[in-house]
A and B are shown apart, each in its own frame.
Chain A
């Protein structure tokens, strides 16, 4: 089955530790995205990547880093510089063929990160 996997579903970390969230897709999509969701805030874009080895900052990139070494994978690192990292993190991908902005995003199940 094609789709997006995120692991783990729940993640606990101590304050001051870096943590990496996994996102893998087998949809053969070029574009991948990371969003953060807080209660009442909707989805806010952290980083996105339209092609391997390239990525752009979204609206709230400070305190986060990403890499895109493979088409299938787009891991997100939450660094100790992120002031309030406790949130629900969603990964998404999107097909780039045709008019890419016409295409819907496919989402993973999310990772709920709690920093103690």
Chain B
């Protein structure tokens, strides 16, 4: 079965602290794709990053970085020097090659306190 687990339901940190959001996935497919989305209070999900199963290189984009480790089936997301604008719900998601569905985790609500 395919599954995405985001064990952290809610996290609160003080502004400028670093924070890591965990994502663990399950799939027997060898080809798959992982995504992170941000949902600000407005409600619309915003795409952040995509990774395919053959590319384990970590990625950095400004204050955001992602650590993909196939050995532990994890795709964790770190925000460095967090800002209040980072407050949102963050979703990790999994997509397989054989169908058009995306499986979402339950999300992590992140509060950045001023």
Seen from chain A, the residues whose Cβ lies within 8 Å of a Cβ on chain B are 31, 33, 35, 40-43, 45, 48, 50, 58, 88, 90, 92, 94, 96, 99-102, 104-110, 112
Contact = CB atoms under 8 A, between A and B. Distances in A.
B12 interface: no
Given A40-B106, A42-B106, A102-B95, A109 B44 contact: yes
B100 A41 contact: no
Say whether chain A's binding surface is mostly helix, strand, loop, or mixed.
strand
Contacts of A107: 37, 44-46
9 contacts: A42-B107, A50-B100, A100-B100, A101-B97, A102-B50, A102-B95, A104-B50, A105-B47, A108-B44
Contacts of A31: 100
B31 to A, nearest CB: 8
A48 B105 contact: no
B44 A110 contact: yes
B91 interface: yes
Contacts, number: 58
Contact of B101 (A42, A48, A99): A48
Contact of B100 (A101, A104, A110): A101
Contacts of A35: 104
B63 to A, nearest CB: 20
Interface in B66-114: 91, 95-102, 104-107
A101 B45 contact: no
B9 interface: yes
